[in-house]
Structure 1
Amino acid sequence: MGEQQDGWRDAWADGRPAVHIGNVADFNAQFLAPGLDAGQAERRRRQGHHYASMAVCYSPEPAVILLPHQVEDAWIDLLAVELAWGRVELHSGLATSADTGLGMADALRARPALLARIGSAGLPVLPWGLTAGLLDLFDPAGPAPAPAASVGSAAALAVTRRYESKAASHELFTAIAPGHPGIFVPRQERPDGPRRAARRIAARAARGATTVLKSPHGVGGYGTTVVTPRQVAEAGGARALLRRLTAEEALAPGGLLLEEYVEGAGRLRDLTFDAVVGPDGAVHPVGVGVMAVDGTHYQGVTVGPHVVPRGPARAAEAFGLAVGRALAAEGYRGWFDVDFVIDRTRRLAPTEINLRLTGPAVAFVLKARLDEVRGPGHLVRTLDALPLGARLSQQLLFDHVEGLRARCGRLGVTLLPLVPTASYQELPSVGLALAARDTDALDAAESLVRVANQALGELFDTLAG
């Protein structure tokens, strides 16, 4: 198995600079539970808009970047130097927090001149994921000028909506798994209503069984939680626990799936396999990475040579390619991944399909670009939402990151900023990537960054005193 194979690059962006659209919130909005109130929906939208800053690295070489939140040019200039990009045209602040409910498709529709320029450039257009609104703007059959490489098709959108469901993906896993001895699919139940779900959770807890609760749709761990027998007892029963988890927004209101808990441990517990379905339906592997998951919440990933041992990597790739062929047969085209949990016997349990770009996709793209411009062998670790000890403007954050870059450089590590827009939120954070030639250097740099971020709070406390 090749750790990183080049075929996906032509299949993904035709080997050319591309237009990157940060439509994370638009994509997620397709799957919001109807029972969410306005405040919950707005929080989901705002989080998606911040995460969309990673659109800077949707492909190895952007030509145009379209972002919902305002991003200063200095961030793009910094990345352009490190990644040897040519001229990059940035359009940011297109769907700001002041425009409640505004998505990227709406924002672009309101800018016909920008749309026409993108269309006339004839470049590949790469969104985070497919939405009906985006297809209306860029599909060759639609009214707007379309680039040479379309964002997708109605068939691909239908497949996306089907298999982003954790119930439909489970059905596909179950159908494919018999041909893959190293794969096992956790049992899944679909209770009819919350009372039935509570009874099943209580019955499982009485037997000492831990249960994974999944909303049919969710991203980044939202809508998925693990419930132990002790938690059921401490909450005063399963019904009370379900009410609390919904109120805390750990679960979305509405349907619920119950899944067998896979007991895993160690560095390799959570794996992801990424691939691209090309325009001709061929499936091109990108690679296998080790995800960092806190409970059920994705935190980042490490990709590169020897990060995943050959055995698990080959098993993940073989199964992931089979999933990709099934998606392609139904009409899907574009990036996808399959996530796995490894149990204590080293069997792989597939947990979900993401028919879109993901955090790991950005890590694979960065590795490909760094290998191209600096030579092969890079390891890349993305850290999606590192807490900051204080709220910072983008200018103050830039100064902080520049200091971190210098310190990481002395360790032989390149630090690349990915999500600079969340630094002034109520819970401020920043998304970063680290690139090096060995894991010890990555570990040292990550520790350095975490300590320095936390120390910001102490610094501001000192100044205030």
Structure 2
Amino acid sequence: MDGWVGAWTGGRAAVHVGDVADFNAQFLAPGTDAAQRLRRLRQAHHYACLATCYSPEPALLVLPAEVAPEWTDWLARELVWGPVEVHSGVAPDRTVAEALAASPGLAARIADSGRPVIGWGRTPAQGDGPELAAVRRYESKAAAHDLFAALAPGHPGIRLPEQERPAGRRRAARRLTARALRGLTTVLKSPYGVGGYGTVVVEPADLFAAGGGRALLRRLTGAEILPREGELLLEEYVDPGPVARLRDLTYDALVGPDGTVHPVGAGVMDVAGTRYQGVTVGPGTVPQDAAGTARRFALAVGERLAADGYRGWYDVDFVTDRQRRLAPTEINLRLTGPAAAFVLAARLDRVRGPGHLVRTLDGMPLGARLAPSALHDHLERLRPRCARLGVTLLPLIPTACHEPEPAVGLALAGPDTEALDAAEALVAAANHGLARMFEALR
């Protein structure tokens, strides 16, 4: 099998291990207390439901949170999977590695499956070595910026944001204040962070309203937007101008076992502030010129990663400026939210024919807290309504429906962005309407 699918699994059904929390744990900032650690672990366990999409076809799923069989049955039906062995609820309050260490039977089942085993990313549980060293190096937004600076001169259409690395937090606060006094917006970053954690856009008005740079940093750490300790990076805010539809782009690729870099594709991300919400991928989603620039630069990044020993999935994220140049912002050396969309598009193209656009919506708010069975019934009512728009509805993250701020992660697959827009609006309205439904029962 040619292309990235062949390099990823050889076209075989694989074992998918939902170890998002395990990957994230190695980058928790100094000073993270036990309560915050547990909150982040549970958030990651919801996101680990994307393990269904680690490759085009799972044979065995290991999920930290409990899921109902109706969920995987729905996906198996739409995506034409063979039998899937599901082990869920294995690690509600711990990492998957800890759960597998306490479950030798399940660990042996995975090891003896004879299938490719795919996790979210490289973790210490898989052993030390060049791959883990590359992950730890380039997941740093400082090291990634250094790599971008080395490559950018050879890539027309790439615009490198300036980055400062103040020595200590007091110096960072002073530099932040100085920039605000010049009227400059700053992207404030912790070197490590996922899903928008550890990154915040600071406008001058934000800093002045807080009472200065030091007061703002205290507020951001108190709100768990930034870690309490550690280095901070100050990066130039790249102004997209008045037309920002293509503001946040990503390019996904993978480094195969032999070190060959395989392109996957470009996507348009939905980012609220600095927090990733989802992505749209598929033919024509990203204009040809921008997609070509992103591809060339991302593959050059991949060549450097491969030379440093990395093997696996990665992406490069970009923002666009007023001249539609691409400014690279970070490298993710792991599976990503967009990876799930690319995997779904590849599977649907194979089983239904080419041309699918896929939009993932990782945390659509629900108007009320629901039991899993009620969420299933709600989505089942939406499924035929989406189908009338030519859109396939796929539930991806069903476990957050009973959180204090209930949400559901979905994918929509259809022929064009207009159909996806219509289906997204339909689902959002129905989700919001749940509040009125429950109010009527009072």
The residue aligned with 2:34 is 38
Distance 2:104 2:40 in 1: 27
Distance 2:129 2:115 in 1: 20
Unpaired stretches in structure 1, ≥5 consecutive residues = 137-152
Give the residue type in structure 2 aligned to 1:7: G
Residue 178 (1) aligns with residue 153 (2): yes
Residue 47 (1) aligns with residue 43 (2): yes
Distance 1:70 1:322 in 2: 40
How big is each residue's C-alpha offset from its partner over 1:246-301, in whole Å with a ceiling of 9 and x where there is no partner?
10111112221000000114211100000010001000000000000001000000
Residue 25 (1) aligns with residue 21 (2): yes
Give the 5 Å matches for 1:344-355: 344-355=322-333
How big is each residue's C-alpha offset from its partner over 1:395-438, in whole Å with a ceiling of 9 and x where there is no partner?
00000110111110111100000000000001100000000001
The residue aligned with 1:224 is 199
The residue aligned with 2:232 is 256
- Counterpart of 1:344 in 2: which secondary structure? coil
Distance 2:208 2:228 in 1: 22
- Counterpart of 1:93 in 2: which secondary structure? coil
Distance 1:37 1:111 in 2: 27
Give the residue type in structure 2 aligned to 1:301: V
Give the 5 Å matches for 1:50-449: 50-96=46-92, 99=93, 102-133=94-125, 135-136=126-127, 154-254=129-229, 255-264=231-240, 265-449=243-427
The residue aligned with 1:143 is none
Larger mean Cα displacement after TM superposition, 153-162 or 428-437: 153-162
Shift of 1:157: 1.0
Shift of 1:13: 1.1
Contact kept, 8 Å, 2:298 with 2:315, in 1: the verdict is yes
Distance 1:428 1:129 in 2: 27
How big is each residue's C-alpha offset from its partner over 1:215-243, in whole Å with a ceiling of 9 and x where there is no partner?
11100111100001111111111111111
Distance 1:401 1:16 in 2: 30
Percent identical residues: 66
Unpaired stretches in structure 2, ≥5 consecutive residues = none
How big is each residue's C-alpha offset from its partner over 1:328-350, in whole Å with a ceiling of 9 and x where there is no partner?
00000000000000111011000
Distance 1:27 1:188 in 2: 26
- Counterpart of 1:301 in 2: which secondary structure? strand
Shift of 1:109: 1.5
Distance 1:413 1:52 in 2: 24
How big is each residue's C-alpha offset from its partner over 1:160-185, in whole Å with a ceiling of 9 and x where there is no partner?
01111111101111111110011011
- Counterpart of 2:35 in 1: which secondary structure? helix
Shift of 1:372: 0.1
Shift of 1:154: 2.3
The residue aligned with 2:12 is 16
Distance 1:457 1:183 in 2: 46
Distance 1:103 1:154 in 2: 21
- Counterpart of 1:267 in 2: which secondary structure? coil
What's the TM-score, normalizing by structure 1? 0.93
Residue 459 (1) aligns with residue 434 (2): no
Give the residue type in structure 1 aligned to 2:273: G
Give the residue type in structure 2 aligned to 1:66: V
The residue aligned with 1:139 is none
Contact kept, 8 Å, 2:314 with 2:334, in 1: the verdict is yes
How big is each residue's C-alpha offset from its partner over 1:297-346, in whole Å with a ceiling of 9 and x where there is no partner?
00000000001010000000000000000000000000000000011101
Distance 2:405 2:198 in 1: 20
Shift of 1:6: 4.8
Distance 1:212 1:119 in 2: 43
Contact kept, 8 Å, 2:30 with 2:227, in 1: the verdict is no
Distance 1:73 1:157 in 2: 34
Structure 1: which 4+ aligned runs deviate by more than 2 Å? none
Shift of 1:42: 1.2
How big is each residue's C-alpha offset from its partner over 1:127-156, in whole Å with a ceiling of 9 and x where there is no partner?
0111111x15xxxxxxxxxxxxxxxx7211
How big is each residue's C-alpha offset from its partner over 1:363-403, in whole Å with a ceiling of 9 and x where there is no partner?
00000000000000000000000000000111000001101
Aligned residues: 439
Give the residue type in structure 2 aligned to 1:118: I
Give the residue type in structure 2 aligned to 1:29: A
Give the residue type in structure 2 aligned to 1:195: R
Distance 1:381 1:186 in 2: 28
